[in-house]
Amino acid sequence: MMLQRILAFSLRALLQFRHDRRTLAFILIMPLLMILIFGYTFGGDVKNVTVEVVNQDTGLHEGTSPLLPHGLYLGEMIIKNIDEQTLSLHENTNLTNARQTVYDGHAWAAVIFPANFTQEFLSHVSSQQETGPVKIEIYLDASNPTISAAVIKAVTQSIQATLKEITTDLNRTQVEIPIMIDQTYAYGGSDTRFIDYFAPGVISFAIMMVTTMITIILFVNERRNGTLQRLLVSPASEGEIVVGYALAFAVIGVCQSVVVLVAAILLFNISIVGNILLALIVLLLLAFGHQGLGILLSAGAKNEMQAVQFIPLIIFPSILLAGLFWPIESIPSYLQPLSYIIPLRYGIDAERSIMLRGWGIGEIWVDILVLILFALLTLSASVLLLKRKS
Protein backbone atom coordinates (compact mmCIF):
# COMPACT_ATOMS: atom_id res chain seq x y z
CA MET A 1 0.00 0.00 0.00
CA MET A 2 1.41 3.32 -1.04
CA LEU A 3 -0.06 6.44 0.51
CA GLN A 4 0.71 8.55 -2.55
CA ARG A 5 -1.28 6.27 -4.84
CA ILE A 6 -4.15 6.01 -2.36
CA LEU A 7 -4.33 9.78 -2.09
CA ALA A 8 -4.23 10.10 -5.89
CA PHE A 9 -7.45 8.05 -6.03
CA SER A 10 -9.15 10.05 -3.27
CA LEU A 11 -8.15 13.40 -4.70
CA ARG A 12 -9.28 12.52 -8.22
CA ALA A 13 -12.70 11.40 -7.01
CA LEU A 14 -13.16 14.49 -4.85
CA LEU A 15 -12.10 16.81 -7.68
CA GLN A 16 -14.61 15.08 -9.93
CA PHE A 17 -17.40 16.07 -7.54
CA ARG A 18 -16.12 19.61 -7.49
CA HIS A 19 -16.63 19.82 -11.25
CA ASP A 20 -19.88 17.88 -11.25
CA ARG A 21 -21.90 20.38 -9.24
CA ARG A 22 -25.17 18.52 -9.66
CA THR A 23 -23.78 15.38 -8.08
CA LEU A 24 -22.19 17.46 -5.36
CA ALA A 25 -25.56 19.03 -4.71
CA PHE A 26 -27.13 15.59 -4.60
CA ILE A 27 -24.54 14.45 -2.08
CA LEU A 28 -25.06 17.39 0.24
CA ILE A 29 -28.65 18.42 -0.38
CA MET A 30 -30.35 15.05 -0.53
CA PRO A 31 -29.70 14.27 3.14
CA LEU A 32 -30.74 17.81 4.02
CA LEU A 33 -33.91 17.49 1.97
CA MET A 34 -34.70 14.18 3.59
CA ILE A 35 -34.47 15.52 7.09
CA LEU A 36 -36.52 18.58 6.11
CA ILE A 37 -39.29 16.63 4.39
CA PHE A 38 -39.44 13.86 6.94
CA GLY A 39 -38.97 16.28 9.80
CA TYR A 40 -41.84 18.54 8.79
CA THR A 41 -44.24 15.88 7.56
CA PHE A 42 -43.69 13.10 10.07
CA GLY A 43 -41.89 14.86 12.82
CA GLY A 44 -44.29 17.65 13.62
CA ASP A 45 -46.43 16.92 16.64
CA VAL A 46 -50.15 17.27 16.17
CA LYS A 47 -51.28 20.86 16.56
CA ASN A 48 -54.53 22.86 16.56
CA VAL A 49 -56.93 19.97 16.70
CA THR A 50 -60.45 21.40 16.89
CA VAL A 51 -62.25 20.06 19.92
CA GLU A 52 -65.70 20.91 21.27
CA VAL A 53 -65.90 21.32 25.02
CA VAL A 54 -69.17 20.93 26.87
CA ASN A 55 -68.80 21.90 30.49
CA GLN A 56 -71.98 21.06 32.41
CA ASP A 57 -70.14 20.94 35.69
CA THR A 58 -71.91 23.09 38.24
CA GLY A 59 -68.96 22.94 40.60
CA LEU A 60 -68.84 23.60 44.29
CA HIS A 61 -69.97 27.05 45.18
CA GLU A 62 -68.06 29.44 47.33
CA GLY A 63 -68.72 29.00 51.00
CA THR A 64 -70.50 25.68 50.68
CA SER A 65 -67.72 23.64 52.18
CA PRO A 66 -65.44 24.62 55.05
CA LEU A 67 -62.63 22.68 53.44
CA LEU A 68 -62.74 24.73 50.28
CA PRO A 69 -63.86 28.21 51.22
CA HIS A 70 -63.37 29.53 47.70
CA GLY A 71 -65.32 26.72 46.11
CA LEU A 72 -64.06 24.36 43.40
CA TYR A 73 -64.82 24.30 39.70
CA LEU A 74 -62.91 21.21 38.57
CA GLY A 75 -64.25 21.09 34.99
CA GLU A 76 -63.22 24.67 34.39
CA MET A 77 -59.77 24.07 35.83
CA ILE A 78 -59.14 21.07 33.62
CA ILE A 79 -60.24 23.01 30.55
CA LYS A 80 -57.92 25.84 31.46
CA ASN A 81 -55.01 23.43 31.79
CA ILE A 82 -55.45 21.86 28.36
CA ASP A 83 -52.49 22.61 26.10
CA GLU A 84 -53.77 25.30 23.74
CA GLN A 85 -51.19 24.48 21.09
CA THR A 86 -52.33 20.91 20.69
CA LEU A 87 -56.05 21.40 21.00
CA SER A 88 -58.00 24.33 19.70
CA LEU A 89 -60.96 24.38 22.08
CA HIS A 90 -64.43 25.57 21.27
CA GLU A 91 -66.76 25.85 24.25
CA ASN A 92 -70.26 24.70 23.52
CA THR A 93 -73.19 24.72 25.93
CA ASN A 94 -75.34 22.45 23.84
CA LEU A 95 -74.39 18.79 24.24
CA THR A 96 -76.37 17.56 21.25
CA ASN A 97 -74.92 20.27 19.06
CA ALA A 98 -71.38 19.42 20.17
CA ARG A 99 -71.84 15.74 19.33
CA GLN A 100 -73.34 16.66 16.01
CA THR A 101 -70.34 18.86 15.22
CA VAL A 102 -68.02 15.89 15.73
CA TYR A 103 -70.40 13.64 13.83
CA ASP A 104 -70.38 16.06 10.91
CA GLY A 105 -66.62 16.10 10.85
CA HIS A 106 -66.22 19.72 11.94
CA ALA A 107 -64.38 18.76 15.10
CA TRP A 108 -62.21 15.78 16.04
CA ALA A 109 -63.66 15.31 19.52
CA ALA A 110 -66.10 16.56 22.11
CA VAL A 111 -64.96 16.62 25.73
CA ILE A 112 -67.95 16.46 28.04
CA PHE A 113 -67.92 17.18 31.76
CA PRO A 114 -71.11 15.95 33.52
CA ALA A 115 -73.16 18.26 35.71
CA ASN A 116 -72.10 16.88 39.07
CA PHE A 117 -68.46 16.34 38.10
CA THR A 118 -66.87 18.31 40.93
CA GLN A 119 -69.29 17.00 43.57
CA GLU A 120 -68.76 13.40 42.62
CA PHE A 121 -65.05 13.90 42.63
CA LEU A 122 -65.17 15.44 46.10
CA SER A 123 -67.41 12.82 47.58
CA HIS A 124 -65.18 10.17 46.11
CA VAL A 125 -62.17 11.79 47.66
CA SER A 126 -63.54 12.61 51.08
CA SER A 127 -65.61 9.57 51.85
CA GLN A 128 -63.38 7.20 49.94
CA GLN A 129 -66.51 5.32 49.00
CA GLU A 130 -66.37 2.85 46.20
CA THR A 131 -68.62 4.96 44.04
CA GLY A 132 -66.58 4.19 40.97
CA PRO A 133 -64.36 6.60 39.14
CA VAL A 134 -65.46 10.04 38.18
CA LYS A 135 -66.02 10.21 34.46
CA ILE A 136 -65.24 12.65 31.70
CA GLU A 137 -66.64 11.67 28.35
CA ILE A 138 -64.59 12.14 25.23
CA TYR A 139 -66.63 11.65 22.07
CA LEU A 140 -64.04 10.93 19.41
CA ASP A 141 -63.70 10.83 15.67
CA ALA A 142 -61.06 8.10 15.83
CA SER A 143 -60.54 7.83 12.10
CA ASN A 144 -57.08 9.27 12.59
CA PRO A 145 -55.36 7.41 15.43
CA THR A 146 -52.56 9.95 15.70
CA ILE A 147 -55.03 12.74 16.34
CA SER A 148 -57.16 10.70 18.75
CA ALA A 149 -54.05 9.83 20.69
CA ALA A 150 -53.07 13.48 20.79
CA VAL A 151 -56.52 14.50 22.11
CA ILE A 152 -56.50 11.88 24.84
CA LYS A 153 -52.93 12.73 25.75
CA ALA A 154 -53.74 16.45 26.04
CA VAL A 155 -56.77 15.82 28.25
CA THR A 156 -54.94 13.30 30.44
CA GLN A 157 -52.04 15.68 30.91
CA SER A 158 -54.44 18.43 31.85
CA ILE A 159 -56.20 16.22 34.40
CA GLN A 160 -52.86 15.36 35.95
CA ALA A 161 -51.82 18.99 36.11
CA THR A 162 -55.14 19.95 37.67
CA LEU A 163 -54.97 17.17 40.24
CA LYS A 164 -51.52 18.36 41.23
CA GLU A 165 -52.88 21.85 41.86
CA ILE A 166 -55.72 20.50 43.96
CA THR A 167 -53.46 18.17 45.90
CA THR A 168 -51.53 21.13 47.21
CA ASP A 169 -54.83 22.79 48.08
CA LEU A 170 -56.28 19.75 49.73
CA ASN A 171 -53.06 18.66 51.35
CA ARG A 172 -53.61 21.34 53.93
CA THR A 173 -56.81 19.59 54.78
CA GLN A 174 -55.14 16.20 55.06
CA VAL A 175 -57.26 14.67 52.37
CA GLU A 176 -55.71 11.94 50.23
CA ILE A 177 -56.17 11.95 46.52
CA PRO A 178 -56.92 8.48 45.17
CA ILE A 179 -55.57 8.99 41.63
CA MET A 180 -52.12 10.36 41.35
CA ILE A 181 -49.99 9.56 38.32
CA ASP A 182 -46.40 10.50 38.47
CA GLN A 183 -44.43 10.08 35.25
CA THR A 184 -40.67 9.63 35.23
CA TYR A 185 -38.47 9.20 32.19
CA ALA A 186 -35.50 6.95 31.65
CA TYR A 187 -34.51 8.81 28.48
CA GLY A 188 -35.96 11.82 26.83
CA GLY A 189 -38.95 13.34 28.53
CA SER A 190 -42.44 14.61 27.99
CA ASP A 191 -40.89 16.97 25.42
CA THR A 192 -39.26 14.24 23.30
CA ARG A 193 -40.74 14.60 19.85
CA PHE A 194 -40.96 12.22 16.96
CA ILE A 195 -38.28 14.18 15.11
CA ASP A 196 -35.84 13.51 17.95
CA TYR A 197 -36.42 9.81 17.52
CA PHE A 198 -36.36 10.13 13.76
CA ALA A 199 -33.30 12.33 13.09
CA PRO A 200 -30.56 9.79 13.93
CA GLY A 201 -32.25 7.33 11.58
CA VAL A 202 -32.55 9.83 8.74
CA ILE A 203 -28.88 10.75 9.00
CA SER A 204 -27.83 7.09 8.86
CA PHE A 205 -30.21 6.39 6.00
CA ALA A 206 -29.01 9.38 3.97
CA ILE A 207 -25.34 8.41 4.34
CA MET A 208 -26.13 4.84 3.35
CA MET A 209 -28.18 5.84 0.31
CA VAL A 210 -25.76 8.39 -1.08
CA THR A 211 -22.69 6.22 -0.56
CA THR A 212 -24.24 3.16 -2.17
CA MET A 213 -25.66 5.03 -5.15
CA ILE A 214 -22.56 7.09 -5.88
CA THR A 215 -20.27 4.07 -5.58
CA ILE A 216 -22.38 1.96 -7.92
CA ILE A 217 -22.43 4.71 -10.55
CA LEU A 218 -18.72 5.52 -10.13
CA PHE A 219 -17.66 1.93 -10.59
CA VAL A 220 -20.07 1.22 -13.43
CA ASN A 221 -18.43 4.18 -15.17
CA GLU A 222 -14.93 2.96 -14.28
CA ARG A 223 -15.73 -0.32 -15.99
CA ARG A 224 -17.55 1.10 -18.96
CA ASN A 225 -15.13 3.91 -19.75
CA GLY A 226 -12.13 1.61 -19.60
CA THR A 227 -10.44 3.61 -16.83
CA LEU A 228 -10.57 0.57 -14.54
CA GLN A 229 -8.51 -1.39 -17.09
CA ARG A 230 -5.96 1.38 -17.05
CA LEU A 231 -5.81 1.27 -13.25
CA LEU A 232 -5.36 -2.50 -13.29
CA VAL A 233 -2.44 -2.19 -15.73
CA SER A 234 -0.79 0.41 -13.45
CA PRO A 235 1.34 -0.47 -10.42
CA ALA A 236 -1.59 0.48 -8.19
CA SER A 237 -3.07 -2.52 -6.39
CA GLU A 238 -6.76 -3.29 -6.11
CA GLY A 239 -6.50 -2.63 -2.39
CA GLU A 240 -5.14 0.86 -3.04
CA ILE A 241 -8.04 1.60 -5.39
CA VAL A 242 -10.61 0.56 -2.78
CA VAL A 243 -8.89 2.36 0.11
CA GLY A 244 -8.41 5.47 -2.04
CA TYR A 245 -12.10 5.66 -2.78
CA ALA A 246 -12.93 4.88 0.84
CA LEU A 247 -10.95 7.93 1.92
CA ALA A 248 -12.85 10.08 -0.56
CA PHE A 249 -16.12 8.75 0.82
CA ALA A 250 -14.95 9.42 4.34
CA VAL A 251 -14.50 13.09 3.42
CA ILE A 252 -17.90 13.16 1.72
CA GLY A 253 -19.50 11.34 4.65
CA VAL A 254 -18.14 13.84 7.16
CA CYS A 255 -19.43 16.77 5.07
CA GLN A 256 -22.86 15.17 4.79
CA SER A 257 -23.07 14.39 8.48
CA VAL A 258 -22.11 17.92 9.42
CA VAL A 259 -24.72 19.42 7.07
CA VAL A 260 -27.48 17.17 8.38
CA LEU A 261 -26.51 17.52 12.03
CA VAL A 262 -26.35 21.30 11.81
CA ALA A 263 -29.73 21.38 10.06
CA ALA A 264 -31.22 19.07 12.66
CA ILE A 265 -29.91 21.20 15.49
CA LEU A 266 -30.81 24.58 13.98
CA LEU A 267 -34.17 23.75 12.42
CA PHE A 268 -35.55 21.11 14.72
CA ASN A 269 -33.77 21.92 17.99
CA ILE A 270 -32.53 18.41 18.31
CA SER A 271 -30.45 17.95 21.38
CA ILE A 272 -27.62 15.47 21.04
CA VAL A 273 -26.90 13.94 24.39
CA GLY A 274 -23.98 11.71 23.44
CA ASN A 275 -20.55 11.99 21.88
CA ILE A 276 -20.72 13.57 18.41
CA LEU A 277 -17.34 12.11 17.44
CA LEU A 278 -18.61 8.61 18.16
CA ALA A 279 -21.74 9.37 16.15
CA LEU A 280 -19.53 10.45 13.26
CA ILE A 281 -17.38 7.31 13.47
CA VAL A 282 -20.48 5.11 13.30
CA LEU A 283 -21.64 7.01 10.21
CA LEU A 284 -18.24 6.52 8.55
CA LEU A 285 -18.31 2.78 9.27
CA LEU A 286 -21.74 2.69 7.69
CA ALA A 287 -20.37 4.56 4.66
CA PHE A 288 -17.38 2.19 4.27
CA GLY A 289 -19.57 -0.88 4.37
CA HIS A 290 -21.96 0.49 1.80
CA GLN A 291 -19.10 1.60 -0.42
CA GLY A 292 -18.00 -2.03 -0.52
CA LEU A 293 -21.57 -3.08 -1.24
CA GLY A 294 -21.73 -0.51 -4.04
CA ILE A 295 -18.56 -1.85 -5.69
CA LEU A 296 -19.92 -5.39 -5.47
CA LEU A 297 -23.27 -4.39 -6.93
CA SER A 298 -21.58 -2.40 -9.71
CA ALA A 299 -20.19 -5.66 -11.04
CA GLY A 300 -23.76 -6.79 -11.59
CA ALA A 301 -24.69 -3.75 -13.67
CA LYS A 302 -23.61 -3.19 -17.25
CA ASN A 303 -24.67 0.45 -17.40
CA GLU A 304 -26.15 3.25 -15.33
CA MET A 305 -29.67 2.14 -16.19
CA GLN A 306 -29.08 -1.26 -14.63
CA ALA A 307 -27.31 0.37 -11.72
CA VAL A 308 -30.34 2.51 -10.93
CA GLN A 309 -32.43 -0.64 -10.73
CA PHE A 310 -30.56 -1.67 -7.59
CA ILE A 311 -31.73 1.42 -5.74
CA PRO A 312 -35.28 0.39 -4.79
CA LEU A 313 -33.87 -3.01 -3.90
CA ILE A 314 -31.73 -1.32 -1.27
CA ILE A 315 -34.11 1.46 -0.21
CA PHE A 316 -37.23 -0.49 0.65
CA PRO A 317 -35.81 -3.15 2.96
CA SER A 318 -33.85 -0.41 4.70
CA ILE A 319 -36.85 1.86 5.17
CA LEU A 320 -39.22 -0.87 6.24
CA LEU A 321 -37.06 -3.29 8.17
CA ALA A 322 -34.21 -1.31 9.71
CA GLY A 323 -36.35 0.62 12.17
CA LEU A 324 -36.15 3.95 10.38
CA PHE A 325 -39.77 5.06 10.93
CA TRP A 326 -41.13 2.39 13.18
CA PRO A 327 -39.45 0.54 15.98
CA ILE A 328 -38.38 -2.94 14.89
CA GLU A 329 -40.71 -4.31 17.59
CA SER A 330 -43.67 -2.97 15.64
CA ILE A 331 -43.04 -4.96 12.46
CA PRO A 332 -44.64 -8.42 12.25
CA SER A 333 -42.66 -10.88 14.33
CA TYR A 334 -42.03 -13.23 11.42
CA LEU A 335 -40.31 -10.36 9.56
CA GLN A 336 -38.26 -9.16 12.52
CA PRO A 337 -35.40 -11.66 12.03
CA LEU A 338 -34.88 -10.16 8.55
CA SER A 339 -33.90 -6.86 10.11
CA TYR A 340 -30.78 -8.49 11.55
CA ILE A 341 -29.27 -8.88 8.08
CA ILE A 342 -29.75 -5.22 7.21
CA PRO A 343 -26.63 -3.30 8.18
CA LEU A 344 -28.53 -0.02 8.42
CA ARG A 345 -30.37 -1.43 11.43
CA TYR A 346 -27.16 -1.41 13.45
CA GLY A 347 -26.25 2.08 12.26
CA ILE A 348 -29.64 3.50 13.22
CA ASP A 349 -29.62 1.69 16.54
CA ALA A 350 -26.15 2.99 17.38
CA GLU A 351 -26.93 6.56 16.29
CA ARG A 352 -30.12 6.64 18.38
CA SER A 353 -28.34 5.24 21.42
CA ILE A 354 -25.60 7.86 21.10
CA MET A 355 -27.76 10.88 20.31
CA LEU A 356 -30.82 10.22 22.48
CA ARG A 357 -29.49 8.13 25.34
CA GLY A 358 -25.93 9.40 25.45
CA TRP A 359 -24.56 5.88 25.37
CA GLY A 360 -20.90 5.16 24.69
CA ILE A 361 -18.91 2.31 23.16
CA GLY A 362 -19.54 0.17 26.24
CA GLU A 363 -23.24 -0.02 25.40
CA ILE A 364 -23.19 -0.03 21.60
CA TRP A 365 -20.15 -2.18 20.93
CA VAL A 366 -22.26 -4.87 19.29
CA ASP A 367 -23.58 -2.41 16.70
CA ILE A 368 -20.07 -1.10 16.07
CA LEU A 369 -18.64 -4.60 15.79
CA VAL A 370 -21.29 -5.61 13.25
CA LEU A 371 -20.63 -2.47 11.19
CA ILE A 372 -16.87 -3.06 11.26
CA LEU A 373 -17.37 -6.67 10.15
CA PHE A 374 -19.76 -5.57 7.41
CA ALA A 375 -17.25 -3.01 6.14
CA LEU A 376 -14.34 -5.46 6.25
CA LEU A 377 -16.40 -8.11 4.49
CA THR A 378 -17.69 -5.95 1.64
CA LEU A 379 -14.43 -4.05 1.13
CA SER A 380 -12.26 -7.16 1.01
CA ALA A 381 -14.81 -8.87 -1.23
CA SER A 382 -14.66 -5.88 -3.57
CA VAL A 383 -10.84 -6.07 -3.65
CA LEU A 384 -11.15 -9.74 -4.63
CA LEU A 385 -13.78 -8.86 -7.20
CA LEU A 386 -11.51 -6.28 -8.83
CA LYS A 387 -8.66 -8.83 -8.81
CA ARG A 388 -10.76 -11.41 -10.57
CA LYS A 389 -9.63 -11.84 -14.14
CA SER A 390 -11.20 -13.94 -16.78
Q: What is the spatial distance between Cα 318 and Cα 375, in angstroms, rounded to a whole number?
A: 17
DSSP state of 46: P
Binding mask 182-221 toward other proteins (x if CB under 8 A, else -) reads ----------------------------------------
Is residue 357 at the binding interface for other proteins, with CB under 8 A as the rule?
A: no
CB of 289 to other proteins, least distance (A): 25
CB burial of residue 89 (10 Å; 0-12, 13-18, 19+): middle
CB of 375 to other proteins, least distance (A): 24
Q: Which of 236, 279, 296, 383 binds other proteins (CB under 8 A)?
A: 236
Q: Which of 153, 164, 193, 224 binds other proteins (CB under 8 A)?
A: 224
Q: Which of 80, 106, 230, 302 binds other proteins (CB under 8 A)?
A: 230
Residue 189 vs 235, nearer CB to other proteins: 235
CB of 7 to other proteins, least distance (A): 7
Size (the chain), residues = 390
Is residue 26 at the binding interface for other proteins, with CB under 8 A as the rule?
A: no
Is residue 229 at the binding interface for other proteins, with CB under 8 A as the rule?
A: yes
Residue 8 vs 308, nearer CB to other proteins: 8
Beta carbons of 210 and 263 less than 8 angstroms apart: no
SS (H, E, C) 174-238: CCCCCCCCCCCCCCCCCCCCHHHHHHHHHHHHHHHHHHHHHHHHHHHHHHHHCHHHHHHHCCCCH
Buried b / exposed e along 321-358 (16+ C-beta atoms within 10 A): bbbbbeebeebeeeeeeebeebbbbbbbbbbbbbbbee
Helices (H), the chain: 3-19, 21-41, 74-81, 95-103, 117-127, 145-171, 194-225, 227-233, 238-268, 276-298, 304-308, 310-321, 336-339, 343-352, 361-387
Q: Among 97-105, 148-156, 231-239, 281-289, which window interacts with other proteins (CB under 8 A)? A: 231-239
Binding mask 265-294 toward other proteins (x if CB under 8 A, else -) reads ------------------------------
Is residue 333 at the binding interface for other proteins, with CB under 8 A as the rule?
A: no
Q: Which of 7, 138, 177, 255 binds other proteins (CB under 8 A)?
A: 7
Site residues (vs other proteins, CB under 8 A): 2, 4-5, 7-9, 11-12, 15-17, 19-20, 224-227, 229-237, 240, 389-390
